[in-house]
Amino acid sequence: MKYKIFCSDLDGTLLTTKSDVSDFTISEIARIKEQLKIFLVSARMPQSMTYLQKRLGIENQPIICYNGALVLDGTNEILSISIKIEAVEKVYELAKVEHIKLGLYYNSEWYVEETSERVEKEIKYTCAEPIFRDTNETIADWKSRNISAHKIMLMGTKESADKIYPLLTEQLSEQMNIYRSNDTLIELAPKAVSKLSAIKLLLSADESLSDVISFGDNYNDTEMLLHTGCGVAVANAREEVKSIANHITLKNTEDGVAHFIKQHLI
């Protein structure tokens, strides 16, 4: 297989553990990084990706954050698209009814109202620290700065997530992409962007999507895997994701991406 660009999701895909890549993955990326551009593509915030870039030795490459809402090349901001602040307020009102807590993200800023098991896991696994303050304060602050969310994370129970998901879809699906991360988490991103749209933005004049090989595991990876030259799902991926992939490799915990690189790239 001959490709020019390697794109991979992080959590559940490239990461062997909850927070890190394996030595095997590092060695395989090192083997191909002079021949292929390596783009990390994630729902994560910037600082939760840059430490992994350093581990992989690809700090000179762009990163696609927040499912494509923020694209950075070092300190250069290539793209920044946020959810309208009025939509953030609407999500907050719906969430309060179901006692669902929000995580609000803008660039390198992360705001939550209080700590929880979920928040502590995020801190542990993503190497980021939130700012604790009332959501109304965050919204007021963002209005004064004329900015808004690159991502909203809804953190509830399975029951509350089941209740709010159809409401979000019915009332806000025209304004944002709505991803069910798992039974208790829902992620919201601007409608105008996706992982695929961000990859397109980074293509050079002599490159096309057929030059891209991509790896993923979850719903927000489906479009990327479907429309790039080769889409590879890890064995732990959602069944819907595996059904549209060109190939299925081993689980992320078994270094599936690294094994695929070793077997098929260069």
Q: For the chain, what are the domain ranges?
A: 5-80+193-264, 85-190
Mean per-residue pLDDT, 137-158: 97
145: helix, strand or coil: helix
**Global pTM?**
0.95
Digit-coded pLDDT (tens) for 219-249: 999 999 999 999 999 999 999 999 999 999 9
The CATH topology of domain 5-80+193-264 is: Rossmann fold (3.40.50)
Mean per-residue pLDDT, 186-195: 95
Contacts of 147 (CB under 8 A, 6+ apart): 82, 106
Q: Residues 216, 224: contact at Cβ < 8 Å?
A: yes
Of 27-41, 129-143, 172-186, 248-262, give the lowest mean pLDDT range: 172-186
Q: Which of 49, 92, 46, 100 has the alpha carbon at shortest distance from 69? A: 46
The CATH topology of domain 85-190 is: 3.30.1240
Digit-coded pLDDT (tens) for 56-77: 999 999 999 999 999 999 999 9
